[in-house]
A and B are shown apart, each in its own frame.
Chain A
Amino acid sequence: MATIFFADPELVIGHGRRVLFVNPDDLQLFKEIELPPDLATCGLKVADSKEQHCQHEQQDVAAAGSAKQSSNTASASASKAKAIEVSIQNVSYSPDRQLLAITTTGGQKALLLYRSRMEHARLLSVRPLARASSALRFCSDGSSVLVTDKTGDCYQYDCVEVEAAPRLLLGHLSVVFDILWTDDQQHIITCDRDDKIRVTNYPATFDIHSYCLGHKEFVSGLALLTEQHIVSSSGDKTLRVWNFIEGKELLIHQLPAPAVRLQVQQLEPEKVYQVAVLFYDHVDGVAIYRLERSSGDNWAITATTVVRADAGLWNICNFTLTGNRVYVTGAENECLAIKAYDIGSGETSTSVPDGWVKMVLRGLEAEGVAYLPEDLSVWFKKRFDNVSDYLERKKRRIEEQQQQKCG
């Protein structure tokens, strides 16, 4: 997927094997990172000790690591996996922006940790992942980073001991779409495809503090509001505010369509937030809500802005907000496209510098390269009925039997 987020003043866009850090208001490129085609050349290897932590599906890791190993360990599956090009899955800054984490998917699944500087980024370590990541989050002091995956596992990677093997912290039974770690590091909050938001104590992650239950489809995104409050977006066409300490639902706001991505900006601490969601298959691409807290646990949506984002004309995949614009990524004519809209008017932004989009696409080496965004339809539960057929046959059997008795 094309990753995009705004870390003022940088707009960070990851795609393929490249991450660009660009100024949205001029043609300045703050820095860029390019991953090698084979991560073994920058230090990826199989960590033997890791096998205890990732008990299942070791093939991925084995495949990732075998590139630099002696040829007798390279299996057919490894060479097959290697044929799939490495691509960037998630990118995240530590809160103090000193560290940068990148996860990759494709032939080599890995977590790359960088020391970040304004002008460049220095690679600190490359550690193998058991599976492709689904979300990535640093803790508030940047001492470790959490990686979740499609089977619902959440691993902690140390950022001080940068080569240390990961620790399995908790597990869901389905893909974890987002993860939060409170500023006081007391709670890790995760959401999954089975409608759940789970609040886990930290460091005692074997102890579940609470669940925030009420969503009726996948929970696609989470954001921290205050020390007790979070907002969540879901495929059930709702946005909800929770007191996660008590597992209590405080606000439910109906959306016109399922929400697949969530972005939140704080406008006034503890009080006013801009909550933006990306819709799945809807005439409007993005909606931006003003969320206000009047007192204690009282929250309300006080204003709505809709950004059509030419929905329906291209395959929208991801988005982010800057102070005044919404940047939407997706595929147009089967290639990566990035479009900017004004938050105020919802129309295509006219203030983006000439040549900016072209520069970004060229910088990502995305021009003319086929790109197929993630198929988000698989997030929805497949409803298949394995009950009514059985009950129908049972009913018929009983009826037949009663007829025989009567006859």
Chain B
Amino acid sequence: MARDSEDQDMETETNGAAEGLDPTSAVTGLPQKRFYRQRAHSNPIADHSFDYPARPEDVNWRALYPSIQPDQKVTFADIGCGYGGFLVTLGEMFPEKFSIGMEIRVKVSDYVMDRITALRHKSGEAGAYKNIACLRTNAMKYLPNYFAKGQLEKMFFLYPDPHFKRAKHKWRIINQALLSEYAYVLKKGGLVYTMTDVEDLHQWIVQHMEEHPLYERLKEEEEQSDPITPKLYQSSEEGAKVVRNKGDHFLAIFRRL
């Protein structure tokens, strides 16, 4: 929830499309979030007009990563990447890895795409940010359409929609049935990072992951010594907001067995 809490009461069409203001910041040259706001929830079960590949072989990765070679593969996936703050950090931390952000909401995913384009442009000849990209898709339904068995090394579920109502628990991005699907696209030894500021959801995630025979939770020392851990707290602007709010956040990392 924290990831997008600023947008909770924003209805889809409330931003000032007709204001004629520049959606790109004059200061940073990056797109401004306020033109891409969208409410935080999306029904992941419903039909949407997604164009998705029938199978992983059909994905044109070159269209997303201009420098990717045929023998290179996407190995990090940020599921529900929101405005892409953490995705950008991933790209900087792991220049040799290809990371994908997956986001279901039209405007939010469009923002991330524009942001990456702007970052690449700004980077100029340094050629940074060519290792990150964003897809508008329903990760709950289409992961096997994009990734082969055992392709991913790391998956991130940061501040997922808590779907508080019991009837909507099937919509949660972590649920019993979906954990098998994540295990399918993860390679053995791969890691799943989860972070939430909703304690109930944290307990739900830990319970379901620990019950699933293909995952084990990392020991606390391991969680704390993972170089990504401090970034999970700090480097996404959404995460930073939680810190400002002094909200509690709950981290759990799991290994695919």
Contacts and interface: CB of A to CB of B under 8 A. Distances in A.
A80 interface: no
| Number of chain A interface residues as a range | 35 or more
A171 B22 CA distance: 46
Interface stretch (A200-208, A254-262, A315-323, A343-351): A200-208
Given A208-B184, A382-B47, A401 B21 contact: yes
Contacts of B47: 381-384
Contact of A55 (B21, B49, B141, B169): B169
A385 interface: yes
Contacts of A383: 47, 49
Contacts of B112: none
Interface in A147-201: 151-153, 168, 170-174, 194-196, 200
B185 to A, nearest CB: 9
Given A55-B169, A208-B180, A208-B181, A214 B213 contact: no
B34 interface: no
Contacts of B178: 171, 173
B148 to A, nearest CB: 9
B55 A206 contact: no
A196 B169 CA distance: 23
Contact of B177 (A171, A207, A211, A396): A171
A387 interface: yes
B177 A170 contact: yes
Contacts of B23: 394, 397-398, 401
A215 interface: yes
Interface string A199-227: 01000111110110111100000000000
B contacts with A: majority SS: helix
Interface string B101-144: 00000110010000000000000000000000000100011101
A384 B54 contact: no
A56 B54 contact: no
Given A386-B48, A401-B22, A213 B169 contact: no
Given A206-B214, A381-B47, A393-B17, A56 B181 contact: no
Interface of A is mostly: loop
A219 to B, nearest CB: 12
B32 interface: no
Contacts of A385: 49
Interface string A386-407: 1100110110111011001000
Given A207-B183, A386-B48, 15 more contacts: A56-B166, A171-B176, A206-B214, A208-B183, A213-B145, A214-B54, A216-B54, A385-B49, A386-B106, A390-B110, A394-B35, A396-B17, A397-B17, A397-B18, A397-B23
9 closest A-B pairs by CB: A171-B177, A213-B55, A208-B184, A382-B47, A211-B144, A385-B49, A400-B20, A173-B141, A206-B180
Interface of B: 17-18, 20-23, 35, 44-45, 47-49, 54-56, 106-107, 110, 136, 140-142, 144-145, 149, 166-167, 169-170, 175-181, 183-184, 212-214
Interface of A: 55-57, 151-153, 168, 170-174, 194-196, 200, 204-208, 210-211, 213-216, 381-387, 390-391, 393-394, 396-398, 400-401, 404
